[in-house]
Amino acid sequence: MKTHVIVFPGSNCDRDVAVAIQNIIGSSPEMVWHKDSTIKQSDLIVVPGGFSYGDYLRCGAMASTSPIMKSVIENANKGVPVMGICNGFQILIESGLLQGALIRNSSLSFICRDVIIKPTNKKTIFTNKSKISKMPIAHNEGNYFANSNQIKEIEDNDQIAFQYCDENGDINAHSNPNGSINNIAGVFNKSKNVLGMMPHPERAAESIHGCDDGRNIFESLLS
């Protein structure tokens, strides 16, 4: 598999995700600087977490105008799997590849802790091996918002990827860390080759992390 990880000024999970890709998928990803303009051929592009451009204007807004994003969008439109984690999710939303918006956490606090998520649609390249999983979140703007028409549309198209839940898999207000509508933790585009998620699977990808539940997302991509 040929894999790429995009690096912006302020990315800080690029190396973590590269290690996860190397260990689980067995591919050494090419790290692509945001000023590069083309990715010719890829089997997976990851837009990693961090604080690209210091979160100026809105999280992900500046990064979405970087030269490399044109190529990411072109590849996504051709069907190449694209995955955005945390700030990467915010960037994919700002670039128009994913619907909705990520606004300030309802608590107004930066939240850094483990959460439990449940795959809502398991029939995708990213989630076919997914199960109820524990992994960390670390964000200030992870509160997923879309208006009621948009929510209905993404529900009808099975575009919800993950929802925050409790240990039993129950989706309730108590297990919602940030105020996201319908506990949404991740969404797909319409054709399900683009995934954005706030939790960090690459930070729960080997036993030394204390939990390796995040592996199943990378393992799904192998099958």
Partner 1 sequence: MLAKIHITLKKDVLDPQGSVIANSLKSLGFDNVNDVRQGKFIELEINSQSKEEAEKQCNEMCEKLLANLVIEDYSVEIEN
Active site residues: 86, 200, 202
H-run or E-run covering 133: strand 133-139
Interaction between residue 28 and partner 1 (CB under 8 A): no
Among residues 138, 141, 139, 121, the alpha carbon closest in space to that of 130 is found at 121
CA dihedral sign of residues 121, 122, 123, 124: positive
Beta bridge partners of 137: 113
Record the tokens describing residue 62, joined without a space: 């500046």
* Residue matched to tokens 């993404």: 154
In this chain, which stretch among 67-75, 99-107, 129-137, 164-172 interacts with partner 1, using CB under 8 A?
A: 99-107
Among residues 117, 43, 53, 107, the alpha carbon closest in space to that of 76 is found at 43
Name the residue nearer to partner 1 (CB basis): 2 or 58: 58
Name the residue nearer to partner 1 (CB basis): 23 or 147: 147
Interaction between residue 111 and partner 1 (CB under 8 A): no
Interaction between residue 103 and partner 1 (CB under 8 A): yes
Interaction between residue 179 and partner 1 (CB under 8 A): yes
* Residue matched to tokens 């990803």: 29
DSSP structure class, residue 206: B
In this chain, which stretch among 29-37, 115-123, 129-137, 141-149 interacts with partner 1, using CB under 8 A?
A: 141-149
Name the residue nearer to partner 1 (CB basis): 124 or 140: 140
Name the residue nearer to partner 1 (CB basis): 33 or 56: 56
Interaction between residue 184 and partner 1 (CB under 8 A): no
HSE-up of 68 (CA within 13 Å, CB side)?
Answer: 20
CB of 99 to partner 1, least distance (A): 8
Interaction between residue 38 and partner 1 (CB under 8 A): no
Interaction between residue 147 and partner 1 (CB under 8 A): yes
CB of 147 to partner 1, least distance (A): 6
Q: How far apart are CA 58 and CA 68, in angstroms?
A: 19
Work out which of 25, 31, 61, 171 binds partner 1, going by CB under 8 A: 61
Q: How far apart are CA 223 and CA 73, in angstroms?
A: 24
212 close to 200: Cβ distance less than 8 angstroms: no
Q: How far apart are CA 159 and CA 165, in angstroms?
A: 17
- Among positions 41-60, residues that touch partner 1 (CB under 8 A) are 57-58
Name the residue nearer to partner 1 (CB basis): 146 or 205: 146
118 three-state secondary structure? strand
Interaction between residue 94 and partner 1 (CB under 8 A): yes
Residues lying near partner 1 in the complex (CB under 8 A) are found at: 57-58, 61, 65, 94, 99-101, 103-108, 145-147, 150, 179
